[in-house]
């Protein structure tokens, strides 16, 4: 792993000769790696400040997570980074300034998604979090006026650690779902003809080193090459069904205590928005038509027809 967070770049294989595919898809792949970095960092935040877990124990926790469903180069590197000691014996990580340096791939992927009319909740939130993290002096000044988070641990400690693991698992699945939704629907003029299973396998790295979730993604597209979103695949959905309640509880607890976990919350919001049969966008359309005359579609008329009302 290099300092930019472009984890997948060194192991990806070519799955299309189309330049229209290759460059944007590489951007999305790097953005997914950036999203994973932020999600793991947010769980580190919860374990460190919310649960008051020591560096030595956190190293063991992430090392254990890397043996199961969350196995990933980023999780393995996290265990190594947390456990590393400086020359004075203190954790080196505590001496690293909390200002990010590296790739802007999440911002670029979010811009690409928005330009194509596709969801960008997770990538956009990761980019925003990075921007705010870079405002170190502003954050110091604000904390003296506004105070800081006070997340008190409640409940069984081991159960809470497992809650964090499951929450991270759900969020990583949803970040991956958003990434492949962008590739499926927006990357390159011939994206609809891509072998999505081959894309997933290439993003997973060399044979045998692919992550569990990436292998599951490849298998989902092998079962259904026309699959729109991976969370609609039965095995992926089953895994998500078992982990999404933990993400919901974890997000709620952090929001209530004021601990910032923007990527975790964005992942949950993406899930809730994507599964909603009805959303209040009808009111948005009505109000925009009222102010600008932009028009609106009707539920009792064919899609694509625009209507207008004075709304008064």
Kindly report the CATH number assigned to the domain that includes residue 109.
1.10.1040.10
Contact present, 213 and 172 (Cβ < 8 Å): yes
pLDDT score of 16 more than 70:
no
**Per-residue pLDDT tens for 282-310?**
999 999 999 999 999 999 999 999 999 99
**6, part of any domain:** no
The count of domains in the chain is 2
Q: Are residues 40 and 89 in the same domain?
A: yes
Q: Are residues 119 and 253 in the same domain?
A: yes
**5, part of any domain:** no
Residues 6+ apart with CB under 8 A from 44: 58, 78, 82
**The total number of residues written for the chain in this structure:** 312
Q: Are residues 85 and 137 in the same domain?
A: yes
**285, part of any domain:** yes
pLDDT of residue 2: 36
CATH number at residue 297: 1.20.5
Q: Are residues 134 and 260 in the same domain?
A: yes
**Per-residue pLDDT tens for 135-187?**
999 999 999 999 888 766 667 889 999 999 999 999 999 999 999 999 988 76
**69, part of any domain:** yes
pLDDT score of 216 more than 90:
yes
pLDDT score of 261 more than 70:
yes
**7, part of any domain:** no
pLDDT of residue 128: 93
**151, part of any domain:** yes
pLDDT score of 230 more than 60:
yes
Q: Are residues 27 and 74 in the same domain?
A: yes
pLDDT of residue 104: 84
Q: Are residues 266 and 296 in the same domain?
A: no
pLDDT over 70, % of the chain? 87
120: containing domain: 18-275
Q: Are residues 164 and 296 in the same domain?
A: no
Q: Are residues 296 and 264 in the same domain?
A: no
CA gap 123, 121 in Å, rounded:
6
pLDDT of residue 206: 55
* Residue 106 CA from chain centroid, whole number: 10
Q: Are residues 253 and 306 in the same domain?
A: no
Q: Are residues 170 and 287 in the same domain?
A: no
**Per-residue pLDDT tens for 50-96?**
899 999 999 999 999 999 999 999 999 999 999 999 999 999 999 99
């Amino acid at each position: 792993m290099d300092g930019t967070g472009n984890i997948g770049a060194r192991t990806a294989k070519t799955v299309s000769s189309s330049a229209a595919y290759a460059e944007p898809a590489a951007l999305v792949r790097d953005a997914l790696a950036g999203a994973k970095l932020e999600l793991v960092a947010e769980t580190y935040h919860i374990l460190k400040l919310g649960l008051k877990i020591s560096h030595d124990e956190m190293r063991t926790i992430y090392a254990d997570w890397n043996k199961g469903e969350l196995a990933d180069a980023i999780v393995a590197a996290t265990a190594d980074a947390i456990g590393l000691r400086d020359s004075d014996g203190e954790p080196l990580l505590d001496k690293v300034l909390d200002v990010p340096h590296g790739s802007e791939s999440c911002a670029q992927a979010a811009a690409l998604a928005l330009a194509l009319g596709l969801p960008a909740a997770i990538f956009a939130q990761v980019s925003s979090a990075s921007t705010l993290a870079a405002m170190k002096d502003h954050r110091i000044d604000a904390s003296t006026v506004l105070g800081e988070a006070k997340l008190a641990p409640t409940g069984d400690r081991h159960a809470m650690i497992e809650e964090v693991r499951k929450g991270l698992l759900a969020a990583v699945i949803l970040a991956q779902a958003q990434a492949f939704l962008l590739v499926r629907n927006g990357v390159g003029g011939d994206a609809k003809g891509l072998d999505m299973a081959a894309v997933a396998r290439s993003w997973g790295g060399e044979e045998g080193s692919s992550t569990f979730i990436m292998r599951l993604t490849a298998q989902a597209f092998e079962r259904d090459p026309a699959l729109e979103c991976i969370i609609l695949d039965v095995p992926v959905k089953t895994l998500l069904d078992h982990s999404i309640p933990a993400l919901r509880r974890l997000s709620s607890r952090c929001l209530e205590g004021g601990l910032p976990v923007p990527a975790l919350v964005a992942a949950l919001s993406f899930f809730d928005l994507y599964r909603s049969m009805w959303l209040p966008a009808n009111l948005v359309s009505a109000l925009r038509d009222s102010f600008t005359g932009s028009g609106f579609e009707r539920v009792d008329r064919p899609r694509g027809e625009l209507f207008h009302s004075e709304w008064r």
